[in-house]
């Protein structure tokens, strides 16, 4: 039986990151993957959906500018787009495999062995791998990291057939643009696919939202822009609705809604996409048999360590945030706990996120809604994109930068949201400030590149410090400065003179 220092079960973002961090320590690592390398971070997930988003955005830009350049509406080729997505996915998988092959050629005192098959723990240090040919191979490892990811959640009353009604895993099986589609779930994934389909201008999109607005965790001013753009692209948002039933009728989808008013309505569309979250993949791993503690949300872990001392769990299989960058962070952190001493505690307060909508949304830390729910006093500045030269030059000033800081002299960053073009390029500096528990003085004085969207962040910081180039009392339609104390939020337009 071959023995390794570390066995990583799952070669998605968290598992691959863990294995490569173990290489830094010179360890012999076994990676076991039952499906495809890269996991949902590559296939049927982050990379594939974001490639669809980029392509759909290009199509939408042509539509927006067709009058300017005397163009007709583009005749979009579904197969060409799908092939481009598949090529992007394959490029990433090829890179991951090539990396493993090249590592295997090195003579640096470590090895990385990749095995395809279904892993099952037979003890806290032994793993049986069932291969496709029916054979079983057994391995030993001093430590084990579980990184088997998650899959789309299904609902028992919805007949998912993978063709007419499907989850996000079924997007790759589409053969053409559906004439119409209903998306069940108005969270991030559901809204991203609503954005993708509507931006391609080939599909009538319905979006079911049980609340009074989509993205229920986000601030109202953020959501308003996204909803406005969706509806301008023909998306029908079913607000305050509950789905009574969904059936396949004559090869199409029939669904019935009941609204909070009591009214009921029946709709017929060609396809349905179920997007109601994800659930961890921890079945048939032998975990309960060897004593790993579980709950309904996933593996119970203490700072990535499970109830068994030498077994760790990272990524979507735990109850933490299900994001690629979080999974990678946890994978690296677990290895640092095993073979070294982490330089800092694993924290989630400075995790940067991007929502690929229209426009994109980037965020880090608390938003206004979360700060108020926690009873935190804050100062808040908002700078409209119309004040940012780069946005003006791009002829797209829809959006804003919104920053929250503590309501004290230190003004430490609580969080930020950027809504608009290039939003994702504007977030990392603020994430760093949050991670080091710093204030905003340095951010305000740092020389930012011009013209760039990040100048809007600098103007936010200056506004909070009373040093802004534009004054909110003169441009109160584009600049906001508010202070929240004891649950009361008020506008502030008078600034102390700063010298």
Q: What is the pLDDT of residues 337-363, one digit of tens each?
A: 999 999 888 888 778 899 999 999 999
Q: Classify residue 349: in a domain, yes or no.
A: no
Distance CA 262, CA 260 (A): 5
Q: What is the pLDDT of residues 179-208, one digit of tens each?
A: 999 999 999 999 999 999 999 999 999 999
Q: What is the pLDDT of residues 82-115, one digit of tens each?
A: 999 999 999 999 999 999 999 988 877 778 999 9
Question: Do 250 and 291 have their domain in common?
Answer: no
Q: What is the pLDDT of residues 466-476, one digit of tens each?
A: 999 998 888 98
Quick one: pLDDT band at residue 310, thresholds 50, 70, 90?
very high
Quick one: pLDDT band at residue 13, thresholds 50, 70, 90?
very high
Mean of the per-residue pLDDT values for the chain?
Answer: 92
If one compares 300 and 496, the residue with the highest pLDDT of the two is 300
Q: What is the pLDDT of residue 494?
A: 52
CATH for 468: 3.30.390.30
Q: What is the pLDDT of residue 495?
A: 47
Q: Domain end: 276, 303, 318, which one?
A: 276
Q: Classify residue 451: in a domain, yes or no.
A: yes
Distance CA 323, CA 329 (A): 10
* Inter-helix orientation angle 220-232/188-199, to 10°: 30
Among 253, 333, 330, CA closest to 299: 330
If one compares 123 and 73, the residue with the highest pLDDT of the two is 123
Q: What is the pLDDT of residues 423-456, one digit of tens each?
A: 988 788 888 888 888 888 888 888 888 999 989 9
The neighbour count for residue 407, using CB atoms within 10 Å, is 17
CATH for 39: 3.50.50.60
Q: What is the pLDDT of residue 328?
A: 94
DSSP codes, 449-464 = -SS-TTHHHHHHHHHH
Question: Do 128 and 227 have their domain in common?
Answer: no
For 379, the domain range is: 359-491
The residues facing 269 across adjacent strands are: 253
Quick one: pLDDT band at residue 77, thresholds 50, 70, 90?
very high
Q: Classify residue 67: in a domain, yes or no.
A: no
* Tokens describing residue 401: 């930068």
Q: Among residues of the chain, what percentage have pLDDT more than 70? A: 98
Question: Do 413 and 363 have their domain in common?
Answer: yes
Q: Is the pTM of this model over 0.95?
A: no
Q: Domain end: 276, 302, 330, which one?
A: 276
In this structure, are strands 311-313 and 29-33 parallel, antiparallel, or unpaired? unpaired
Q: Classify residue 450: in a domain, yes or no.
A: yes
Question: Do 269 and 290 have their domain in common?
Answer: no
The neighbour count for residue 175, using CB atoms within 10 Å, is 9
Q: What is the pLDDT of residue 423?
A: 92
Question: Do 87 and 200 have their domain in common?
Answer: no
CB within 8 Å of 311: residues ≥ 6 apart: 121, 124, 143, 144, 145, 146, 292, 305
Question: Do 382 and 394 have their domain in common?
Answer: yes
Q: Classify residue 199: in a domain, yes or no.
A: yes
Cis peptide preceding 223, ω within 30 of 0: no
Domains in the chain: how many in total?
Answer: 3
Q: What is the pLDDT of residue 489?
A: 85
Q: What is the pLDDT of residues 245-261, one digit of tens each?
A: 999 999 999 999 999 99
Q: Domain end: 260, 276, 292, which one?
A: 276
Q: What is the pLDDT of residues 101-160, one digit of tens each?
A: 999 888 777 789 999 999 999 999 999 999 989 899 999 999 999 999 999 999 999 999
Distance CA 343, CA 25 (A): 15
Question: Do 30 and 140 have their domain in common?
Answer: yes
User: Residue 31 belongs to what H/E stretch?
Assistant: strand 29-33
Q: Classify residue 235: in a domain, yes or no.
A: yes
* Tokens describing residue 409: 């002299």
Among 364, 376, 343, 330, CA closest to 484: 376
Distance CA 340, CA 334 (A): 10
Q: What is the pLDDT of residues 201-239, one digit of tens each?
A: 999 999 999 999 999 999 999 999 999 999 999 999 999
CA angle 363, 494, 380 (to 5 degrees): 15
CA angle 280, 286, 290 (to 5 degrees): 115
> Does residue 45 surpass a pLDDT of 50?
yes
Q: What is the pLDDT of residue 448?
A: 83
Q: Classify residue 136: in a domain, yes or no.
A: yes
CA angle 330, 316, 10 (to 5 degrees): 80
Distance CA 329, CA 308 (A): 21
Q: What is the pLDDT of residue 496?
A: 46
Question: Do 189 and 222 have their domain in common?
Answer: yes
Question: Do 184 and 37 have their domain in common?
Answer: no
Question: Do 104 and 176 have their domain in common?
Answer: no
* Tokens describing residue 272: 């349905």
Q: What is the pLDDT of residue 201?
A: 95
Question: Do 297 and 416 have their domain in common?
Answer: no
Q: Classify residue 354: in a domain, yes or no.
A: no
Backbone angles phi and psi of 85, in degrees to 5: -65, -45
Question: Do 183 and 235 have their domain in common?
Answer: yes
């Amino acid at each position: 039986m071959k023995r390794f220092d570390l066995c990583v079960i799952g070669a998605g973002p968290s598992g691959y990151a863990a294995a490569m961090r173990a290489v830094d320590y010179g360890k012999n690592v076994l990676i076991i993957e039952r499906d495809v390398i890269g996991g949902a971070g590559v296939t049927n997930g982050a990379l594939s959906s974001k490639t669809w988003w980029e392509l759909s955005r290009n199509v939408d830009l042509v539509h927006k500018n067709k009058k300017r350049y005397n163009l007709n509406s583009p005749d979009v080729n579904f197969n060409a787009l799908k092939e481009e997505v598949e090529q992007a996915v394959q490029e990433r998988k090829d890179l991951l495999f090539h990396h493993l092959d090249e590592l295997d050629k090195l003579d640096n005192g470590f090895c990385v062995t990749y095995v395809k098959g279904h892993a099952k723990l037979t003890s806290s240090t032994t793993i049986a791998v069932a291969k496709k040919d029916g054979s079983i191979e057994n391995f030993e490892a001093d430590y084990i990291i579980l990184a088997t990811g998650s899959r789309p959640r299904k609902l028992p009353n919805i007949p998912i057939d993978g063709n007419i009604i499907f989850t996000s895993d079924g997007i790759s099986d589409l053969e053409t643009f559906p004439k119409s589609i209903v998306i069940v779930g108005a969270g991030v994934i559901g809204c991203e696919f609503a954005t993708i389909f509507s931006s391609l201008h080939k599909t009538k999109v319905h979006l079911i939202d049980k609340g009074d607005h989509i993205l229920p965790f986000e601030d109202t001013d953020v959501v308003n822009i996204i909803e406005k753009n969706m509806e301008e692209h023909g998306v029908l948002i079913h607000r305050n609705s509950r789905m009574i039933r969904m059936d396949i009728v004559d090869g199409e989808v029939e669904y019935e809604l009941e609204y909070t008013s009591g009214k009921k309505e029946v709709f017929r569309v060609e396809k349905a996409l179920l997007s109601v979250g994800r659930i961890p993949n921890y079945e048939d791993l032998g975990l309960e048999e060897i004593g790993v503690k579980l709950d309904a949300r996933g593996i119970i872990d203490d700072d990535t360590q499970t109830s068994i001392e030498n077994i760790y769990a990272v990524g979507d299989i735990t109850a933490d945030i299900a994001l690629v960058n979080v999974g990678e962070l946890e994978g690296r952190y677990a290895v640092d706990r095993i073979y070294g001493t982490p330089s800092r505690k694993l924290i989630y307060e400075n995790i940067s996120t991007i929502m690929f909508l229209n426009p994109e949304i980037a965020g880090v830390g608390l938003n206004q809604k979360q700060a108020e729910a926690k009873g935190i006093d804050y100062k808040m500045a908002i700078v409209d994109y119309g004040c940012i030269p780069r946005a003006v030059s791009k002829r797209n000033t829809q959006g804003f930068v919104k920053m929250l800081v503590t309501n004290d002299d230190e003004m430490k960053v609580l969080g930020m949201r950027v809504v608009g073009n290039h939003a994702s390029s504007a977030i990392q500096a603020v994430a760093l400030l949050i991670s080091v528990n710093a204030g905003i003085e340095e951010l305000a004085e740092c020389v930012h590149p011009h013209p760039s969207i990040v100048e809007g962040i600098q103007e936010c910081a200056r506004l909070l410090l009373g040093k802004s180039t534009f004054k909110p009392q003169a441009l109160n339609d584009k600049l906001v400065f508010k202070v929240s104390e004891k649950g009361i939020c008020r506008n502030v337009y008078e600034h102390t003179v700063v010298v």
